[in-house]
Amino acid sequence: MEATLRVLNELERDGVITRYAIGGAVGAIFYMEPFLTYDLDVFVVLPETAGGLLTLAPIDEALKRRGCTEEAECVLIEGMPVQFLPADNLLLEEALAEARETAYAETTTRVLRPEHLAAIMVQTGRDKDRQRFSTFLQDAALDAGYLQGVLERHQLSDRIERWKTVI
Amino acid sequence: MENRDLNQLLAGKQRRREELTRLPIEEKIRAVIRLQHLAAHILKQRGKKVRCWNIASSDRA
């Protein structure tokens, strides 16, 4: 995974992406017990093109030049399927802006805060998000006040109340 | 099973989860790769295409 993270750092350094942070299952695993997953979700802020469009094409092109291949919705980077997800709503923008720098072996990377990961689970709202959310609340050291602020800012408090009735 | 035994089991399970949560991330990723290999055979039999991470030796168990 370290080689994959080095490639992500190079994409950011080269301006292909403005900023990235690990989210999804691997992001959650930074804060809780490990569980099964097969891909690495990477949230990205993309540089705007001249026409104002946001597109993943520059990432695809930069990775193809490195010999990376596409596989379903992922790109295989150094043996790891990576899915790039644009930060296309206010919650994701905030999550990326406030993501934490951390070390993986000798390499610096960035991971979403646990409170944002929890809020994204609530916003995404699939069955597996609800199941993971329940365990995540127990395992991860969350700042309850910070989480409440995130949920309120992004109108997710009602949804979490509904979830509590079925968890 | 008595309540006391059940409570001990549950407490042990919770302790194990807490230990796993505290592992360094590199060790957690090694555990994920082991899980991928364990699950891949079953998932492939169900027709699901999965790829276990083939990453640097430093990430492997």
E strand spans, A10-166: 19-22, 40-45, 69-71, 74-77, 80-86, 100-104, 107-111
Give helix A127-139 / helix A157-166 axis angle, nearest 10°.
90
Residues of B in contact with A35 (CB under 8 A): 32, 35
Q: Give me the mean pLDDT over the A64-89 stretch.
A: 93
Q: Do A139 and B18 touch (CB under 8 A)?
A: yes
pLDDT tens-digit map of A29-64? 999 999 999 999 999 998 777 777 778 888 999 999
Taking a contact as any Cβ pair under 8 Å apart, which residues of chain B between 9 and 48 contact chain A?
A: 17-18, 20-21, 23, 25-26, 28-29, 31-32, 35-36, 39
Cα separation, B39 vs B36, in Å, equals 5
Tokens linked to B43? 């998932």
pLDDT range class, residue A119, cuts 50, 70, 90: very high
Nearest CA in chain B to A35: B32
Q: How wide is the angle at C-alpha B34 spanned by C-alphas B31 and B39, nearest 5°?
A: 125
Q: How wide is the angle at C-alpha A73 spanned by C-alphas A72 and A79, nearest 5°?
A: 75
Nearest CA in chain A to B55: A79
